[in-house]
Amino acid sequence: MSLNRDQINSIAHLARLSLTEAEIPVYQDSLSKIVDLVGELDAAQTAGIEPMAHPLPGLAQRMRPDVVTETDQHENYQRNAPQVEAALYLVPKVIE
């Protein structure tokens, strides 16, 4: 199966990735090949087979006591942020 230019652009948009003009044909080619590769799965007989999401089925999500375990470390964490002001993350203006 061959993916067209529009499909690549639409996937990139959903994934929030900017692509350069030069990248589009490269991903068109390789994603088409990957879609062909995963198309091999069609041949498998899977009727009545339970989908497997996790290697350890039966492992229930644990609950923990509802107590505070984290302390406020925003200064520590925000040291890695590109732009911070008054302990807030700054982004370009969203509302005009």
Partner 1 sequence: MHTLTLSELAKKLRAKEFSVTELTKSLLARIEESQPTLNAFVTVTAESALAQAKVAEASLASGNAGPLTGLPLAHKDIFCTKGIKTSCGSKMLDNFVSPYDATVVEKLNAAGMVTLGKTNMDEFAMGSSNETSYYGPVKNPWDVKLVPGGSSGGSAAAVAARIAPVATATDTGGSIRQPASLCGVTGIKPTYGRVSRYGMIAFASSLDQGGVIAQSAEDAAMVLGAMSGFDTRDSTSVDTPVPNYVESLDAPLTGLRIGLIKEFFDKGLDASVEKLIREALKVYEKLGAKLVEVKLPALPLSVPTYYVVAPAECSSNLARFDGVRYGYRAKDPRDLMDLYKRSRGEGFGAEVKRRIMTGTYVLSAGYYDAYYLKAQRVRQLINQDFKRAFGEVDVLMGPTAPDVAFGIGAKASDPIQMYLNDIYTIGANLAGVPAMSIPCGFSRELPVGLQIAGPHFAEAKLLNVAHAYQKETDWHRQIPAAFKREKLS
8 A C-beta contact, residue 25 and residue 53: no
| Contact with partner 1 (CB under 8 A) among 6, 50, 72, 85 | 50
Residue 88 sits at φ, ψ, to 5 deg, of -115, 145
Closest distance to partner 1 from the beta carbon of 41 (Å): 5
What CA–CA distance (Å, rounded) separates 23 from 41? 28
Closest distance to partner 1 from the beta carbon of 94 (Å): 5
Write the single-letter amino acid at 93.
K
Residue 88 interacts with partner 1 (CB under 8 A): yes or no: no
Nearest to 35 by CA among 86, 79, 62, 1: 1
Closest distance to partner 1 from the beta carbon of 24 (Å): 11
Centroid of chain to Cα 85:
28
Using CB under 8 A as the criterion, which residues of the chain lie in contact with partner 1 when the complex forms? Answer: 3, 8, 11-20, 23, 26-27, 30-31, 33-35, 37-42, 44, 46, 49-56, 59, 61-62, 64, 73, 76-77, 79-83, 89, 91-94
